[in-house]
Amino acid sequence: MPDAPVTTYMRQNPVDPAYPEGEVVTGASLPDTVALRPMPDPT
């Protein structure tokens, strides 16, 4: 479970979910249709 500041940020800044095709694994490339957004440091 994420820390409280992370959970609060996520609830206050909702985004559309991404539904990538295939298996999601570490190091896999995301399609261009997936928008990445920076998240501030929770400290």
Where do we find the tokens 């298996």? 23
Sorted by sequence, the CB contacts under 8 Å of residue 16 that are 6+ apart come out as none
Rounded Cα distance, 30 and 5, in Å: 26
Q: Quick one: pLDDT at residue 36?
A: 85
Residues in the chain, pLDDT under 50: none
Rounded Cα distance, 29 and 42, in Å: 26
Overall pTM > 0.75:
no
Q: Quick one: pLDDT at residue 35?
A: 83
